[in-house]
Chain A
Amino acid sequence: MMRNILGRFGLVLVILLGMEGVYRWVHYAADMRLYAPAVVRFDSLVGLDGDVLYLGESSNWTTGPEDRDMRSISQMVGDALFPVVVRDFTEPATHGGHYQSLLERIPDSSGIETVVVTLNLRSFGPDWVYSRLEPQLARQFLLAELEPRLWARLRIGFGSSVLDSPERLEGLRNRMWASAVLPAPAPYPTTRAWDRNLNEVGWLDADRVRNQDSTELACHYVKSYGFGIDPARHPRIRDFDAMALWSKARGKRLVFLLLAENVRQAEALAGPEIAELMRANADFLVHRYRSRGVEVVNALEVLPPSVFIDKTWTTEHYTEAGRSALARRLTHQLQMQPQGASLP
């Protein structure tokens, strides 16, 4: 009986191993191109010559309607640092979790010595941590990283796994808003309470009339930036910490670019507490990573409200003036000589 069972399991194992071999040999590369195009693009990017790698989300390349210079932040930096070659990997809605996975894919043979990673304050909020776009991006990394490959393919094909449920992510986000206790100077214990109160009171214009658009935008600010960062449990902290460790282990120069936020508008619409909270969280990140040997360019409040493209939503999309201001700061940082390292 036992021999019979073992024989069956052995046969299943042999068949599975054979399938894994066939999949790796025949279908894996095609599946990567189809279902993990960003990772494939990254792999080919780091295979090219380059000195600096810029990892960012849509803030890098989004342009305003009036822009004449359509260059992205990374292109501006590359032009300013010529002949240093700056390669960029820009993918909408990416965050530290993805960047950390990407850094691990840089081969030892790569010529890249400096990596710039955008440190997006908003990506630390529940709205982004539990974004509905997350499953689509996470699938790409799953297929690229998980072994055996056939298991990874099964995971991405069977779409209702926990990872792949946008409803579940939405539920987690709502729970965070409703239950995570906000630190001082937040005026309410939770994001949900703050948002509700703000919505009930409404944003009143000069005639003391409720302005619905401004009220909604104020609420967006609270939902996007009204959070505390628990360093022991926050997934993005884990990711950026891992990047700092990677930089030390691999001897690469790592620069975090803390992206500019429209703090002034946030303060005007949602009150001084939200601006204080944004500053407190940004300061926390800057200190944490500087103390871990990472260079941090703090651009949180360097841009005026006029350079933010989206007027009804909270984003880090900048006009030409905004992009070039950030590029100048980043260029300046990259031109500074870090301890024992130099740009070619």
Chain B
Amino acid sequence: MRFDSIEFLLFLPLVAGLYALLPRGWRWLMLLVASYAFYAFWRIDYLGLLVLSTLIDYGVSLRLEKVEHPLWRKTLMGVSWTANLGMLAYFKYGNWVVENLNGVLPPENALGLPNILLPVGISFYTFQTLSYTLDVYHRRIEPERHLGYFALYVTYFPQLVAGPIERFDRLGPQLRRSENLTWAGVGRGLQLVLFGLVLKSVVADSLAPVVDAFYADPEAYGSLDAAVALLFYAFQIYADFAGYSLVAIGSALIFGVELMNNFAAPYQAHSIAGFWQRWHISLSTWFRDYVYIPLGGNRTSRWIWARNILVVFGLSGLWHGAAWTFLVWGLGHGLLFLVERRVQPWAHRVPVVLRWLGVQAGVVLLWVWFRSPDASTAQRVFSRLLEVPEGLRLSVPPMAMGAWLGLAVWEAWAGTRRFDGLMERTSVGVRIAVYAVLVYVLIVGSPPGGAEFIYFRF
């Protein structure tokens, strides 16, 4: 089920109503059933993967608690990793591996392309369960003995299909508490749901057609068009994913569950490191805790550290999708990060505005690799950028321009402050007026047949 659907607008109050009516001890069951239903709305047959992943990690974690021998513990971790990463590898990277093998194999030995449909959210829930088993393995947390609560942790519908990727020590206890609904919680949750939907359905979906038109045929456009498309895409993907995350955070808040913030004004960052502390925070911190630090982090030689950085950013790129373009995008960020560290001793002498410009230009240019379906498209986009500027050929509807400007102004003004926090400081009258305007904008400003959330593909 998509958040920007009539079904979800009916589903959320229904689940909240049932939750409020049920005794505390039964709420987990209702939420679990609702979460499975939420997922099954997309495809019921892939629900089995979710259940399988849940059962394997539940079983492994309980055994890990009892087993002391390091070899056995590693074997158990191997089972979890093989199962989870095996599923991820098969469904996400199967087609890509075969395509690349076919590129080097003689045509007569070419392998048939498996027709695999990527299960929605597999990258997110796989990383969530991996973090759980790793935390149990390192004895950072106690395993959850209640299968129901553990299953709810894996499938919790607000963050099931596109995060934020939550750690068990944060989400698990909150799910167990099954807090009562409160006016304040419901109010704050609805504010975030509303604001998130505006970001996704109005801003991102208004920008999408302009970007899509450019990427469909870059040769038909000039450098000015390329610049507009690049800037629009930077805001489209931000509005799309940050909007989704806010709906997820808001939906959970209605049930008294605080999910982690996934974005904090990333386009205000004036360093690459800063950008990654503000963009998709739940994934960045996952890679930091479960890849970067185990590899040695920065407590190693300069070369090993640089390798660690590139490994983390490369993996982060590949996490997004099975394509060389994602790898280039990830490694590009890794290289920028290394360069930034190299010039750090004298970088502070450069005015902040120039640093910000340099960093954001790098980020926006790297989005080209992220958005392009293949390397050839990316090269064609870059070649457009180098042309002598002519008039704008792209058709930019006023709505798209308004959406872009609106988000830019909002980012500049609000910074890292969240919408619900800002609303708290205003009078009731202002709040009601803002909500009414946002609801109206959401309804009237959503283009028909809105695009799917970009991160659903990952």
Contacts and interface: CB of A to CB of B under 8 A. Distances in A.
A159 B2 CA distance: 9
Contacts of A340: none
* Most chain B CB neighbours (cut-off 10 Å) among A139, A153, A154, A158: A158
Given A157-B448, A157-B450, A159-B448, A19 B439 contact: yes
Interface string A16-41: 00110011000100010001000000
A15 B444 contact: no
Contact of A22 (B6, B440, B446, B448): B440
A135 B449 contact: yes
A162 B432 contact: no
Contacts of A220: none
Contact of A157 (B2, B436, B447, B451): B447
A339 interface: no
A158 B432 contact: no
A177 to B, nearest CB: 18
B443 interface: yes
Contact of A158 (B440, B446, B451): B446
Interface string B416-458: 0000000000000000100010011011111111111000000
A164 B439 CA distance: 22
B448 A156 contact: yes
* Most chain A CB neighbours (cut-off 10 Å) among B1, B2, B201, B440: B440
B436 A158 contact: no
Contacts of A155: 6
B5 A160 contact: yes
Contacts of A154: 6, 443, 446
Nearest to A31: B444
B7 interface: yes
A161 B2 CA distance: 9
A158 B444 contact: no
Contact of B9 (A27, A158, A164): A158
B443 to A, nearest CB: 5
B4 interface: yes
A150 interface: yes
Interface in A158-172: 158-162, 164
Contact of A19 (B4, B9, B440): B440
State the main secondary structure of chain A at its contact with B: helix
A136 interface: yes
A268 interface: no
A160 B2 contact: yes
Interface residues of A, number: 24
A139 B440 CA distance: 19
Interface in B1-60: 1-2, 4-7, 9
Given A23-B444, A27-B444, A35-B448, A160 B439 contact: no
A19 B442 CA distance: 12
A11 interface: yes
A154 B9 CA distance: 11
A157 B201 contact: yes
Nearest to A152: B443
B342 to A, nearest CB: 46
Nearest to B444: A27
B439 A158 contact: no
A160 B4 contact: yes
Nearest to A19: B440
Given A11-B432, A15-B436, A19-B440, A161 B5 contact: yes
A157 B439 CA distance: 13
B155 to A, nearest CB: 20
* Most chain A CB neighbours (cut-off 10 Å) among B432, B443, B448, B451: B448
A31 B445 CA distance: 10
B448 A161 contact: no
B137 to A, nearest CB: 39
A266 to B, nearest CB: 30
Contacts of A15: 432, 436, 439
A326 B440 CA distance: 50
A35 B445 CA distance: 12
A162 B448 CA distance: 14
Contacts of A157: 201, 442-448, 450
A153 B448 CA distance: 9
A160 B7 contact: yes
A158 B448 CA distance: 7
A27 B201 CA distance: 18
A159 B201 CA distance: 9
B443 A162 contact: no
A300 to B, nearest CB: 36
Contact of B444 (A18, A153, A159): A153
Contacts of B439: 15, 19
A22 B439 CA distance: 13
A281 B201 CA distance: 44
B7 A161 contact: yes
* Most chain B CB neighbours (cut-off 10 Å) among A22, A23, A161: A161
Given A157-B443, A158-B6, A164 B436 contact: no
Contacts of A23: 440, 443-444
A19 B436 contact: yes
Contacts of B7: 160-162
Given A23-B444, A157-B443, A139 B6 contact: no
Contacts of A11: 432
Contacts of A136: 449
B448 A139 contact: yes
Contacts of A27: 444
Contacts of B6: 154-155, 158, 161
B436 A159 contact: no
A150 B447 CA distance: 14
A55 B440 CA distance: 36
A164 B448 CA distance: 9
A18 B4 CA distance: 24
A27 B445 CA distance: 10
Interface string A138-159: 0100000000001001111111
* Top 9 closest pairs, chain A to chain B, by CB: A157-B446, A159-B449, A160-B5, A160-B2, A159-B450, A161-B6, A156-B448, A154-B443, A15-B436
Interface of A: 11, 15, 18-19, 22-23, 27, 31, 35, 135-136, 139, 150, 153-162, 164
Given A157-B450, A162-B7, 4 more contacts: A150-B444, A153-B444, A156-B448, A159-B4
14 contacts: A156-B448, A157-B201, A157-B443, A157-B445, A157-B446, A157-B450, A159-B449, A159-B451, A160-B1, A160-B2, A160-B4, A160-B452, A161-B6, A161-B7
